[in-house]
Amino acid sequence: MTQAELLALADQVLLKNNKPQPIVLTRASGCEVWDVAGTRYLDMTAGIAVCGLGHAHPVFTERVAAQLGRLVHISNLYYNEQQILAAKAIVDHSFADRVFFCNSGAEANEGALKLARRFQDIVNGAPERTTFVSTVGSFHGRTFATVAITGQAKYREHFGPLVGPVEHIAYGDIGAATRALENKTACAIIVEPIQAEGGIVIPPPGYLAALRQLCDDTQTILIFDEVQTGMGRTGKWFGHQHDNVFPDVMTLAKGLGGGVPIGAVAMTERAAAGLTQQPGGAVPHATTFGGNSLACAAANAVFDIIEKEQLLARITESGEYLAGKLAGLVSEFPGHATEVRGRGLLRGLAVSGAPAQVVARGREKGVLLSVAGDKVVRFAPPYIVSKAQLDEAVSILRSVLAEGVGK
């Protein structure tokens, strides 16, 4: 079918819940993707911070394909080798002692929230501690509990009554966090180390450490949502490692499977009590596909390849390079390109007008970008992106700004 025919069919058969760019992509390699009409695009989205290794990485492809022929799925009635090894990889690279696997970021956060409620009940003997504290501007997913905790009203509209109680406090404001936690009605506070969908917002220095102290003082579960910042995206394995502060629970998805859907809840031994089955008790949490052999083989390949190709150092270096280039646009287009944000290869250029227009025009000119928040054009390219590719992407973005788009 032609691209026009496929777009017409999509219009008929797909739910119109969002409005994708009007291209139908069919194949990809590294940082390049092609649509059905044969047009090539430079990919600065990596499937929204997912395909860190780039598209069709040969080793990744080979390992996932081999697993496909060996064992795809056997359920959680049994252990499977890939799941155990993937849990070990997360444990070895983080603060965590134990891991629960699921299928997406929202689902990982659901698990973390359930853990927190049950932890307060079972471990602290405080079933009345039910409030989820979250931050304004955050994004935690689209399920009922995760839209409720997401700190942007637009995601919650028309879905009431919402899961709660939830208290939204200002991001980066430790005074607000102290007020929310000191009366001990909260079971958990959930924060992103960098608010990604909210516009790539980095909290003030010391914020995560102060939250850690506050949670210790009040026996509140500290959840870091690393769905977007995890798996190397910011230049360390996990975003909070820049601050040398550790949560009780961390949620992962996106980059973990290199494009194969997977989510994870990683936790300390102590926090794990929140989801541990009690003798004679019911299974507190589970999912059919969680820990699937194929998804876990993908995660194991991602860990191995990031390590073998020393991608963390490359992410840091390429991220600095990109930030420098974007800063050049801020100088060249004052009042139009207003600010560079981010860390590693999660970067944003704030614009004075509509970033969606910049993204659409960029796509017409051959670069795929995405929007974060109300004002930011996001770069989240594959970790393997070359300087030449970053140059090409920024030069297209420059030409878009030169046309006055997004002013």
Ligand X SMILES: Cc1ncc(COP(=O)(O)O)c(C=O)c1O
**Using CB under 6 A as the criterion, which residues of the chain lie in contact with ligand X when the complex forms?**
104-106, 109, 139-141, 192, 196-197, 225, 227-228, 253
By beta-carbon proximity to ligand X, the closer residue of 140 and 341 is 140
Give me the least distance between CB of 139 and ligand X, in Å please: 5
CB-closest chain residue to ligand X: 105
Give the HSE-up count for residue 108: Cα atoms under 13 Å, Cβ half-sphere: 30
Give me the least distance between CB of 141 and ligand X, in Å please: 4
Contact 238, 346 (CB under 8 A): no
Spatial separation of the C-alpha atoms in residues 376 and 374, rounded to whole Å: 6
CA quadruple 263, 41, 194, 305: dihedral positive or negative? positive
**CA-based nearest residue to 93, from 238, 191, 259, 225:** 238
Which two three-digit tokens encode residue 23?
């291209």
Q: Nearest 5°: CA angle at 263, between 259 and 266?
A: 135
By beta-carbon proximity to ligand X, the closer residue of 15 and 77 is 15
By beta-carbon proximity to ligand X, the closer residue of 106 and 271 is 106
Q: Nearest 5°: CA angle at 17, between 15 and 19?
A: 105
DSSP 97: S
Tokens 């989510």 -> residue: 263
Tokens 């939830």 -> residue: 166
Contact 188, 133 (CB under 8 A): yes
By beta-carbon proximity to ligand X, the closer residue of 196 and 350 is 196
Give me the least distance between CB of 106 and ligand X, in Å please: 3
By beta-carbon proximity to ligand X, the closer residue of 100 and 333 is 100
Give me the least distance between CB of 105 and ligand X, in Å please: 2
Which of helix, strand or coil describes residue 257? Answer: helix
Give me the least distance between CB of 332 and ligand X, in Å please: 30
Give me the least distance between CB of 278 and ligand X, in Å please: 29
Spatial neighbors of 5 by CB under 8 A, at least 6 apart, are none
Contact 171, 135 (CB under 8 A): yes
Spatial neighbors of 296 by CB under 8 A, at least 6 apart, are 80, 82, 83, 85, 86, 101, 262
By beta-carbon proximity to ligand X, the closer residue of 104 and 293 is 104
Give me the least distance between CB of 25 and ligand X, in Å please: 19
By beta-carbon proximity to ligand X, the closer residue of 191 and 396 is 191
Tokens 């406090």 -> residue: 169
Give me the least distance between CB of 2 and ligand X, in Å please: 31
By beta-carbon proximity to ligand X, the closer residue of 197 and 243 is 197
Which two three-digit tokens encode residue 319?
């991220």
